[in-house]
Structure 1
């Protein structure tokens, strides 16, 4: 099996890679590599860290579970083990990812930090530069995803705060904050889950909710809310499905506006499709908000040395601050001449094929459709490269270097 060659000594040419270069050894990169292998096409996966799925292994809290049932989170051609729970834990998912790589024989090159990648129009190949090597290939797949770097917002006065300030990428358990007053900044799924975990460890969380947000029950009628929505969308218009979801949410959860959680005017699915803003799937935090154990606060005006001032005039003291402010992509810093990803690290608007760019460039994991979108992108990318190879059988020099697995 030939995956890449290291017999090129000329540093101006670098290491030739048969098949595709894939940047990132998370679920997205592994899914593309597996799909390519299914089409008898090799790939080389480059990973800046020393392990698979580094976000999951090194930057997630201990109690994390998949927000959707496992059947919506499987990668192509390899299901979850039957003994896994309906909502796999972080540790279940990591073991699944490791088994996935082993099953398909994917062996990434670890500790390869991609510093620059650019298309060479003269040769017709991509040149990818790590800290100690140059790789050359016909195809480049960007699989670093939307969550490569923690997003730290500018909050006035935060540098003056005397207590610890941690991003959720550093947060592991509420056990570190027992009986402390904790300000949780950010009301997405992470903010809600961290607040719930803090409650379970006898901390006193104050959750900052600056904007409107949709909160949905994780399940309705014993079924995944997401699954019900997907099934209804096959038969009914999107806005009608959104109205049904909000009606059921008000019935099951009550009107969240009374708790300081204003719903957006746009429905949850329509808003997700338009902006990528994911609805919160309640895992139990809402009941603690109702009981007052999680206190909802309006936007932060300013951080002080021992607490925070809020937009409604309140001022409170805190022992610690947790930033549940999400992540951002790092692609704009290293991918040159890129027409797929915006300067903010988001996928540009497209007509359903945002995964495909020019000159053999692809992205996976940027569609804001979770692991389900990742699987779809991976299949499309592998199919597109395979189709190109079929049409290039009789090409001359530009395609002679492309190698297919020898069986």
Structure 2
């Protein structure tokens, strides 16, 4: 058994590292447990062409700006992986990997973190496991009958894997639009969305999205009218590849199909589409199974929080899962502020 420590951080991606930065500044004794064998979090598992939709300077964790890469306005995922590895090393963050956390339990005045490499005791826990490990695929009639390939965003890598094939991409968010734009030149593409695609204005990138998310949270905290935040602007950031494919008339969305057949998809009006592969760009759910022993789950699988702090267990903070754990907290630039608030709250609690 290791510890007791002041804090155990579960997850060594961007949220876990931001938490570690602030915990270190406050002089707390902590460890970061990361299931990945190498630094970089989920960024090391994305598709080949993925780029951020913010410039490097606006995609940074607290304390260290991300250096731009010459010729790239929007950094590639590989650049982010290198930045996170450098960040971890620069601040000498105590990351232990690969460590898989099985469960967090109450243990008298401590929280007990059970892992595949032993037990840790901590006075507080920050959960920063994100969503990438919990891809969501909707229950569409006939899905299990399809004879072609089915994969989720997490499994997609390159359009070359589908050259000449008939591919259906499902999803009207950023991932769906970007993967559809990636495939449209090499595959016979059918892009399917629940509603007509809503593109943000071409001049809007991650900087503006962060500002809108922050303004919404401030308005809600002050009891003012909900501004709608990022959702009020649209669903798809028009990054250059998406913009190019859209402007060329290549991104034409079809409404959501009603069922899946062994060879494709079918709509109620009789329209069909044959397919060799279906790619589900249908989002994720928070990866919170390790917190099940604490019995804190509320509606929709979320753990009720005040800011990042779990209402039912004040020694637990959740970081980086989306707006419900801090405005834009699932982004590089957005996670810094809630990470600082979580670290400060833990420091005050331990005192």
* Pick aligned residue for 2:208 from 227, 234, 239: 227
Matched, 1:375 2:336: yes
1:270 counterpart residue number: 228
Query: Do the aligned partners of 2:40 and 2:80 also contact (CA within 8 Å) in 1?
Result: no
- 1:209 shift after superposition: 1.0
CA distance in 1, matches of 2:68, 2:55: 13
Q: Please give the residue correspondences for 1:289-368 in structure 2 after superposition, counting only pairs within 5 Å.
A: 289=246, 291-332=248-289, 334-339=291-296, 342=298, 344-346=300-302, 348=304, 350=306, 353-355=307-309, 357=311, 358-368=313-323
Give 3-state SS (helix, strand or coil) of 1:371's partner.
coil
- 1:213 shift after superposition: 5.0
* Pick aligned residue for 1:48 from 9, 30, 35: 35
| 1:16-49 Cα deviation digits (max 9, x unpaired) | 1422101001100011011111112121111222
Query: Do the aligned partners of 2:200 and 2:235 also contact (CA within 8 Å) in 1?
Result: yes
1:61 counterpart residue number: 47
Give 3-state SS (helix, strand or coil) of 1:327's partner.
coil
- 1:98 shift after superposition: 0.3
1:80 counterpart residue number: 66
CA distance in 2, matches of 1:311, 1:104: 57
- 1:367 shift after superposition: 3.3
1:203 counterpart residue number: 187
Matched, 1:215 2:176: no
Give 3-state SS (helix, strand or coil) of 1:68's partner.
coil
Query: Do the aligned partners of 2:172 and 2:235 also contact (CA within 8 Å) in 1?
Result: no
The structure number with the bigger radius of gyration is 1
2:110 counterpart residue number: 125
| 1:178-225 Cα deviation digits (max 9, x unpaired) | 12221001111000000100023x2121111113553113426xxx47
The alpha-carbon distance between structure 1 residues 77 and 169, as it changes in their structure 2 partners (threshold 3 A), is same
* Pick aligned residue for 1:159 from 141, 144, 154: 144
- 1:230 shift after superposition: 2.9
Give 3-state SS (helix, strand or coil) of 1:208's partner.
strand
1:280 counterpart residue number: 236
CA distance in 2, matches of 1:225, 1:359: 32
1:178 counterpart residue number: 163
2:222 counterpart residue number: none
Query: Do the aligned partners of 2:52 and 2:77 also contact (CA within 8 Å) in 1?
Result: yes
The alpha-carbon distance between structure 1 residues 55 and 205, as it changes in their structure 2 partners (threshold 3 A), is same
State the TM-score, normalizing by the size of structure 2: 0.85
- 1:372 shift after superposition: 3.1
The alpha-carbon distance between structure 1 residues 216 and 366, as it changes in their structure 2 partners (threshold 3 A), is same
Query: Do the aligned partners of 1:165 and 1:322 also contact (CA within 8 Å) in 2?
Result: yes
CA distance in 2, matches of 1:150, 1:81: 31
1:264 counterpart residue number: none
CA distance in 1, matches of 2:257, 2:212: 39
Query: Do the aligned partners of 1:80 and 1:96 also contact (CA within 8 Å) in 2?
Result: yes
Give 5+ residue unaligned stretches, structure 1.
Answer: 1-13, 239-266, 393-407
- 1:115 shift after superposition: 1.2
- 1:127 shift after superposition: 0.6
- 1:304 shift after superposition: 1.1
Give 3-state SS (helix, strand or coil) of 2:112's partner.
strand
Query: Do the aligned partners of 1:299 and 1:311 also contact (CA within 8 Å) in 2?
Result: no
State the TM-score, normalizing by the size of structure 1: 0.74
Give 5+ residue unaligned stretches, structure 2.
Answer: 220-225
| 1:255-284 Cα deviation digits (max 9, x unpaired) | xxxxxxxxxxxx9x606479xx97210124
- 1:373 shift after superposition: 3.0
| Equivalent residue pairs, number | 334
Query: Do the aligned partners of 2:50 and 2:77 also contact (CA within 8 Å) in 1?
Result: yes
- 1:382 shift after superposition: 1.7
CA distance in 2, matches of 1:46, 1:86: 33
The alpha-carbon distance between structure 1 residues 105 and 345, as it changes in their structure 2 partners (threshold 3 A), is farther
* Pick aligned residue for 2:96 from 109, 122, 125: 109
- 1:345 shift after superposition: 4.2
